[in-house]
Structure 1
Amino acid sequence: MARNYRETLNLPKDEQTIPMRANLPEQEPRWQAFWREINLYQRMLEKPAPNGDYILHDGPPYSNGDIHIGHALNKTLKDIVVRSYCMRG
């Protein structure tokens, strides 16, 4: 029988949430417009990698055992590494 993971989460109640002060829903469109204006994505693609290509091989999804925090950590760390190399060129 599948386990209901929703009941295992320890989330704050609505009255305990931290207010959003950065106003991200309004900031994000402005950042995206700026990035489009300076053609950032194309510039990143055209910039040669200073140390050659960087390749990170990621295996297939886990097919045995229950999902746990280690799976999320693994994927998150790999994403951070790939993005940081991309941002460096």
Structure 2
Amino acid sequence: MKASTLAYKPVGLALGAVSGLIAGAAFKQAWKLVEGEGDAPDSLDEDRPWGQILLAAAVQGAIFAVVKAAVERSGAQATRRLTGTWPG
């Protein structure tokens, strides 16, 4: 394993935590736009219909994937600017 990859591991973990926080906040805002309700349904919420639960899961998954990719890519680019090597 390259030294740059090993050195990037803690940075990647921190970026993962940050991306989770950002994605969670973005999902809450997106859900308010989609359904106009405060809380998104959870898969065990028996009062919500299947369609609403699956829509919430799809929106949440898409947001988390996009935010994770954007944060990880930005972190890798910043690492390259600082060290001159890509952390992969």
Asked whether the two chains share a fold, i.e. TM above 0.5, the reply is: no
Flag the structure with larger Rg.
1
Q: Which TM-score band (shorter chain)?
A: 0.3 to 0.5
Q: TM-score, normalised by structure 2?
A: 0.34
Q: TM-score, normalised by structure 1?
A: 0.34
Say which structure is richer in helix.
2
